[in-house]
Structure 1
Amino acid sequence: MKKYSYIVTILLAVLVSGCEKYTDVVPTGSIVVETAEDYYKLVSLPNRAYPINNFQYLVDDQWIRESYVIGQRKSIDIINFTFDDSDARTNLLSGSSFYNQTYSYINRWNTVISLVDGSKGEDNIKQLAKAEAKIYRAFDHFMLVNVYAKAYDPATAATDGGICIMDKYDLEAKPIKSTVAQVYDFIQKDIEDALPYLQKVTVDPYHPSLAFAYGLKAKIHLFKHEFSLAKEAAQKSLSYNNTIYDLVAYSKLGGPSTLPVLAGENQEVLSFMYMTGYTEMSFAYTCILSPELVKLFGANDARFNLFMNTTSTSLLDPGAGTAYFSVNYTKFFYPTVGMKTTEVYLMLAECYAREGSLSEAMGIINQLRAKRILSGITTLPVPGTIKGTMNIIIEERRKELLLGFHRFFDLKRLNNEPDYAKTVTHTFPIVNKTVPQVTYSLSPNSRLYIIPFPSGAMKLNPNLRLNTNETLPF
């Protein structure tokens, strides 16, 4: 076999300035990659981060400290928290770490997909490397399209503006923007191409397993309202991994102060991805839970009682009814962006509910609650309607899938359905009495749910333009 070797830049740091390229990165090192095994190892990328700072407060589950708003200059955080659509956000979003980092990961996957066939080594390793890279490329395009475009609407997806699809390694590319439907078609093709070659058990938790891949497939179908296909994929995912970590038993053992659970030790986690990085739970006070979400947990939920702080006078506004995740990542590792088996269970419950199988849906909810609720009512009765069952499932998603992107994406997709659309409100401030209290409202069809592309990227790619009606700053 003819020998090929390539110098592959390791995409670990990204440019965050206003002069970013469409997928500009700052290389921090390079290695020689010449074998299939080398490319396979490239797929494993610990510390993969997806920052939420461009849209963190466009939800009902997160809150902001009052001193960060009162008397402060308008920022993207203040605009989002007060649901202010009076100005073009493009003036404040010249760059985006989420945008840059996600496309840098896609370039990494494209490197593997494009070049591994020319390397020396076993064909099965080449197929596995390509398959895993395609699953992650699908995941990253899913993340991007759900941040920068409308949620998938079967009636309009074929014409709704989406994102630029990157299907090959090319830092100088200036691709055209695809529609939402085209992006989802691309995502689904990558998943289907990859599934036959993936493994049930991977060599480390940073390679995608069959359970993760089928979970992602279920998520794509769910977001497209293809509920029968989502149900089938969720069941397939759970056939590979159906573990639910028992927080009730864990609490009886003393919880994180007595029994640390490190990354890799919690078998319900299907993928390890983060908002900021591996150590982000050490800084979780930057993600404050809203009073609404705190009340939703109630007094007997292990997800809250084991991990949340409600009394800090230095990191919370005393009396606001807020909380934050206060357990260090070395005590209990909590993933915020990737998938867990419990998300797959909740997707399956939703599919059952939508088809009218309400007992089956509530059976899943109660199976989860048995390992989450410390005392009191664990088993909930079966509601008499689909809507009533769906409301319970949506509430469980809020409590189980904290932080990260989950609630932002759920609000967007559910806002397309009148039965589940929600006007989010923030009544603010709660504690400070020196300024008037105002109730801010975010309507289900607000343009704020569609985040503008960073202006620096649009300057360099004339094919990339906003999916909102905001004015460009150039």
Structure 2
Amino acid sequence: MKLRTYITLALVTLFTLPACNKYLDIVPKAKTVISSTEDYYKLISLPNRGYYTGNFTYLSDDFWIRESYVIGLPKNMDIINFTFDEQVNRPEYLTSSNYYNQIYTYINRWNMVLSLIDDTNGDASIKTLAKAEAKVLRAFDYFMLINVYSKSYDPATAATDGGVIIMDKYDLEAKKAKSSVEEVYKFIQNDLDEALPYLQEKPLDVYHPSLAFAYALKTKVHLFKREYAQAKAAAQKSLSYNGQIFDLVKYTAQGGPNVLSVPAADNPEVLSYAYVSGVTEMNFAYTNLMSPELRSLFNTTDSRYNLFFTSGPNSNIDAGSGTAYWNVPYTKFFYPTVGMKTTEVYLMLAEIYAREGNYTEAMSIINNLRSKRITNPAQAQLAVPATTKATMDIIIQERRKELMFGVNRFFDLKRFNLEPDYAKTLVHTFPIVNKTVPQVTYTLKPNSRMYIIPFAQDVLKLNPLLTLNTNETVPFR
């Protein structure tokens, strides 16, 4: 007999990995029943997919913190991270993690489609497409998990480095041990490789993954694994489907966001609609400030800064600190920070060319991007360096300016810290403005355990098999 499963849309969005008991077969009143192939396919479209980065925001050289959020206040995760306090046992402060729980909620959603859609009535081709799209989004979510809660991929140690739990089936009661970093990456790559033959160039809507996005994600996975030939092929494939760059120089001439609004659906660069804080995306940037260091990287004619940021004076900022904040409502311009976009693919391809020793091709990509970002043509074009290191330094700097906020800089610091040429010790000298307390210089070394975020207490309590990936201690075990 065909399995008949009833689930409501409202409940689907509330499921978390450790939180549910039994499958539900009672349909609450006034809820939508999920039973047909089309219903399951519609579950792929999730417009408000958010990845809140609060547990690791300040482990970066791109963010800064208001002085009043630190001085005279008891320790919290923001202060611990910003001051690079390695003496603290972080699990004592991490009672829960929105980032972790939300991602496993999404994974459960994709697993539900993968596990149950074959037992529904509907078109077989839609079932195949739905499963392919669910695998792409599941791969994205595992990539987002593994690069926060584990060491960055190191070919020498990935097989033994602690990873995250792989949930590959719709099973709300499962309690599993974590897999290694190597196993999680293999799972991600397998999902992508199985999905790619069945995806569409132009899916049903922007919340369904396209071929351009899937190949972009494949590029990123291979790049993080240092599989440069495979990454290059995937990047070129992604750009063959969508290689558009939104021209900020032209946009500046048109008057910018105060004259011409560019909501998410109108930005052709966007490959994946995912957010830090929901569809109100950049509103979080009113309180999460650009660091003085990042601000110093923008020249005076860079539209990425001039169109969207201000240094005050305003109550959102410490006047005189050299910081800046996003100053454009999300309704006027959508700037992706967590989901992928075409310019990230170009930057990954430039990195691959640089590592191959093809500096001319790498800089051609960089200068083409800069020509659409910097209004002064003379400042937009950079000379071709003579070494891999010099070319990579330019690319890394462009990544910081183009891929601001979100997760990218944190992920980049972790992966580049494994390479002596690009490893960086972070420095926060704080406070800058307040003169009533001593100024202190805080440093974070490339090999710090702080780059691996501990699992929070709520999931550790629910699953005794889950262990930390650092040498910190669980408060209740």
Instruction: Please report the TM-score for the alignment, with normalisation by the length of structure 1.
Output: 0.96
Aligned residue for 1:139?
A: 140
- The amino acid across from 2:429 in the alignment is T
Q: Once the 2 structures are TM-superposed, how far is the Cα of residue 319 of structure 1 from its aligned partner?
A: 0.2
- Note the alpha carbon deviations across 1:442-474, whole angstroms, 9 max, x for none: 000000000000111111111101000001101
**Per the alignment, in what secondary structure is the counterpart of residue 162 of structure 1?**
coil
**Per the alignment, in what secondary structure is the counterpart of residue 161 of structure 1?**
coil
- The amino acid across from 2:129 in the alignment is L
Residue 110 of structure 1 contacts residue 167 of structure 1 at CA under 8 Å; is this kept in 2? yes
Aligned residue for 1:44?
A: 45
How large is the RMSD of aligned CA atoms in angstroms? 1.7
| Aligned counterpart for 1:393 among listed residues 388, 392, 395 | 395
Residue 21 of structure 1 contacts residue 456 of structure 1 at CA under 8 Å; is this kept in 2? no
Return the alpha-carbon distance in structure 2 between the equivalents of residues 21 and 211 of structure 1: 30
Return the alpha-carbon distance in structure 2 between the equivalents of residues 91 and 3 of structure 1: 44
| 1:55 aligns to 2:56 (yes or no) | yes
Instruction: Report the identity percentage.
Output: 63
Residue 12 of structure 2 contacts residue 109 of structure 2 at CA under 8 Å; is this kept in 1? no
Aligned residue for 2:410?
A: 408
- The amino acid across from 2:424 in the alignment is K
Q: Once the 2 structures are TM-superposed, how far is the Cα of residue 311 of structure 1 from its aligned partner?
A: 1.1
Return the alpha-carbon distance in structure 1 between the equivalents of residues 313 and 59 of structure 2: 24
Aligned residue for 1:439?
A: 441
Q: Once the 2 structures are TM-superposed, how far is the Cα of residue 24 of structure 1 from its aligned partner?
A: 5.8
Aligned residue for 1:473?
A: 475
Residue 384 of structure 2 contacts residue 391 of structure 2 at CA under 8 Å; is this kept in 1? yes
- Note the alpha carbon deviations across 1:352-372, whole angstroms, 9 max, x for none: 000111100000000100000
| 1:167 aligns to 2:163 (yes or no) | no
- Aligned pair count? 469
- Note the alpha carbon deviations across 1:16-54, whole angstroms, 9 max, x for none: xxxx863569x9995312221111100000110000000
Q: Which structure: greater strand fraction? A: 1
Aligned residue for 1:7?
A: 7
Aligned residue for 1:324?
A: 325
- Note the alpha carbon deviations across 1:407-458, whole angstroms, 9 max, x for none: 0000000000000000010010000011111110000000000000011111
Residue 17 of structure 2 contacts residue 104 of structure 2 at CA under 8 Å; is this kept in 1? no
**Per the alignment, in what secondary structure is the counterpart of residue 297 of structure 1?**
coil
Residue 277 of structure 2 contacts residue 284 of structure 2 at CA under 8 Å; is this kept in 1? no
Residue 95 of structure 1 contacts residue 456 of structure 1 at CA under 8 Å; is this kept in 2? yes
Return the alpha-carbon distance in structure 1 between the equivalents of residues 3 and 184 of structure 2: 36
Return the alpha-carbon distance in structure 1 between the equivalents of residues 301 and 383 of structure 2: 18
- The amino acid across from 1:413 in the alignment is R
Q: How does 1:48-447 map to 2 (within 5 A)?
A: 48-375=49-376, 376-447=378-449
Q: Once the 2 structures are TM-superposed, how far is the Cα of residue 91 of structure 1 from its aligned partner?
A: 0.5
Residue 259 of structure 1 contacts residue 331 of structure 1 at CA under 8 Å; is this kept in 2? yes
**Per the alignment, in what secondary structure is the counterpart of residue 200 of structure 1?**
coil
Aligned residue for 1:22?
A: 18
Instruction: Please report the TM-score for the alignment, with normalisation by the length of structure 2.
Output: 0.96
Q: Once the 2 structures are TM-superposed, how far is the Cα of residue 12 of structure 1 from its aligned partner?
A: 6.4
Query: Would the alpha carbon gap of residues 22 and 410 (structure 1) be closer, same or farther in structure 2, given more than 3 Å must change?
Result: same
Return the alpha-carbon distance in structure 2 between the equivalents of residues 297 and 430 of structure 1: 20
Q: Once the 2 structures are TM-superposed, how far is the Cα of residue 312 of structure 1 from its aligned partner?
A: 3.2
Q: Once the 2 structures are TM-superposed, how far is the Cα of residue 176 of structure 1 from its aligned partner?
A: 1.1
Query: Would the alpha carbon gap of residues 471 and 311 (structure 1) be closer, same or farther in structure 2, given more than 3 Å must change?
Result: same
- The amino acid across from 2:280 in the alignment is T
Q: Once the 2 structures are TM-superposed, how far is the Cα of residue 13 of structure 1 from its aligned partner?
A: 5.5
Return the alpha-carbon distance in structure 1 between the equivalents of residues 9 and 455 of structure 2: 25
- The amino acid across from 1:107 in the alignment is N
Return the alpha-carbon distance in structure 1 between the equivalents of residues 368 and 452 of structure 2: 35
Q: Once the 2 structures are TM-superposed, how far is the Cα of residue 262 of structure 1 from its aligned partner?
A: 1.0
| 1:456 aligns to 2:458 (yes or no) | yes
In structure 2, list runs of 5 or more residues that go unmatched: none
Return the alpha-carbon distance in structure 2 between the equivalents of residues 12 and 47 of structure 1: 14
Return the alpha-carbon distance in structure 1 between the equivalents of residues 158 and 327 of structure 2: 40
Return the alpha-carbon distance in structure 2 between the equivalents of residues 150 and 23 of structure 1: 27
Return the alpha-carbon distance in structure 2 between the equivalents of residues 367 and 11 of structure 1: 46
Query: Would the alpha carbon gap of residues 317 and 24 (structure 1) be closer, same or farther in structure 2, given more than 3 Å must change?
Result: farther
Return the alpha-carbon distance in structure 2 between the equivalents of residues 5 and 22 of structure 1: 21
